[in-house]
Amino acid sequence: MTEEMTRREDDDDSISERECHKGVKHLCETGIAKLPKKYILSEFDRPNLWKDGKPYSKFNENDIHLLPVIDFSELQGSNRPHVLKFLANACEKYGFFQLVNHGICSDVIRSMMDVSRRFFELPLEEREKYMSSDTYSPVRYGTSFNQTKDAVFCWRDFLKLMCHDHPLLSDMLPHWPSSPSDFRELVASYANENKRLFLMLMEAITESLGLITSRPNKQSTKTGGDGDQYENILEELENGSQLMVLNCYPTCPEPDLTLGMPPHSDYGFLTLLQQDDVAGLQIQFREKWVTIEPIPDSFFVIVGDHLEIFSNGRYKSVLHRAIVNSVKSRISVASLHTVPYRTVVQPSPNLINEANPRRYMDTDFSCFLEYISSCEPKKKNFLDSRKLI
């Protein structure tokens, strides 16, 4: 046992479990000088932010330009075939890409980030009205990663908003927070734009998988074969589920002992992540953790488990995590998109053949929710549980 650990065990850690459940924003507001025990990861799980007094990264920062950036406007022009190849390579080899020139107006994005910040600045009594452990709730405020299960807590508070496709409710907006007063309006407008962009990206991704060779005329009748494939997945996604996660990472007194979010992959087809100007997202690339420096107004797009399944393993969902710091609080908004709640996700039949047999079992969203209520959804272990070979 290290000296550090001994010191802490000797200390009388006065922060109670009950206080921790109120979230890290609350802990910060009560004023803490060191990290309570509840948040201290075992040495093996710590982020290793410093070495010999300097920021430490095993990733060679000179290689940062190798990470894929996609210019969305080019995808719409004559360069589309070339960009599609680049997109395919990004989803196969990296499982993520930065998206610039995506067409969503920066006012919509900035208002979303601003209203998220104002939500987390509300008094705890207002925020905790939305606390719930029910994963089906259309609005859920909470802390850590899986608050009812985590032995060690993460340094994050969140608000999860279901935007589309709930098993019982048709309209979720009336359930969203009514404070700040412009919250619903700004979030709904961002969510709609986000969904539209996601659908255009999925059209390109479907095409990049070779599932369609030309963009079908919406008026024309189905022609069978690849045309059907196009219609099916994109139509399902159009009516699909959308979850927005507003993340708040307050400043942390000892950021090298904890994480904002543990390593995980996202469950859906794609996550479109918006982060403010404070770095904190890390992606696993060639077995190293790479910090993704925010590009203003761009989206960071993450391949999720459902796209890995749909592509029969050709596109890979990627492990990522969030680190925290002692200087600046950070806000991010993740939008997770997938098929409707009860729809089965399976490898596209057009991507299965003798040389490339089916690699995953049928999966749906409720089966993921069942999984997370019984197991730890960390790393990629949900996806691993769906593997056939």
Sole window of 48-56, 67-75, 159-167, 273-281 interacting with ligand OGA (rule: CB under 6 A): 273-281
DSSP 3-state of 246: strand
> Phi-psi category of 241—alpha, beta or left, where left has phi over 0 and alpha has psi -120 to 50?
beta
Least separation in angstroms between CB 283 and ligand OGA: 10
Handedness of CA 311, 312, 313, 319 (dihedral sign): positive
Containing 100, the helix (H) or strand (E) segment is strand 96-100
- Contact predicate 205/302, CB 8 Å: no
268 binds ligand OGA (CB under 6 A): no
> Do residues 264 and 320 lie in contact, with contact meaning Cβ atoms separated by under 8 Å?
yes
Alpha helix stretches (DSSP H) within 124-164: 124-127
Q: How far apart are CA 47 and CA 49, in angstroms?
A: 6
Separation CA 119–CA 127 (nearest Å):
8
- DSSP structure string for 292-349: -PPPTT-EEEEE-HHHHHHTTTSS----EEE---SS--EEEEEEEEES-TTPPB---G
Candidates 266, 276, 305, 308: give the one binding Ni ion (CB under 5 A). Answer: 266
For the range 228-234, what are the long-range contacts, defined as Cβ-Cβ under 8 Å and sequence gap of 24 or more?
229/348, 229/349, 229/350, 230/206, 233/202, 233/206, 233/310, 233/339, 233/348, 234/199, 234/202, 234/203, 234/206
CA 24 and chain centroid, separation = 20
Instruction: Using CB under 6 A, pick the residue from 144, 194, 274, 275 that binds ligand OGA.
Output: 275
Give CA–CA dist 250/247, Å, rounded. Answer: 10
Q: What residue 281 binds from Ni ion, ligand OGA, none (CB within 5 to 8 A, per partner kind)?
A: ligand OGA
| 26 part of the interface to ligand OGA, by CB under 6 A | no
The closest residue (CB) to Ni ion is 266
305 binds Ni ion (CB under 5 A): no
305 binds, among Ni ion, ligand OGA, none (CB under 5 to 8 A by kind): none
Q: Specify the residue, 271 or 311, whose C-beta has the smaller distance to Ni ion.
A: 271
Residues 210-249, mask of contacts with Ni ion (x by CB under 5 A): ----------------------------------------
Please pick, from the candidates 193, 207, 266, 308, the single residue that binds ligand OGA as defined by CB under 6 A.
266
Contact partner, 245, from Ni ion, ligand OGA, none, Cβ < 5-8 Å per class: ligand OGA
> If binding means CB under 5 A, how many residues of this protein chain bind Ni ion?
1
Does position 144 interact with ligand OGA (CB under 6 A)? The reply is no
The yes or no reply on residue 322 touching ligand OGA (CB under 6 A) is yes
Stretch that binds Ni ion, among 49-57, 262-270, 338-346, 358-366 (CB under 5 A): 262-270
328-367: which residues touch ligand OGA (CB under 6 A)? Answer: 332, 334
Give yes or no for residue 201 binding ligand OGA (CB under 6 A): no
User: Which positions from 209 through 248 interact with ligand OGA, judged by CB under 6 A?
Assistant: 245, 247
Residues of this chain that bind Ni ion (CB under 5 A): 266
Residues of this chain that bind ligand OGA (CB under 6 A): 245, 247, 261, 266, 275, 280-281, 320, 322, 332, 334
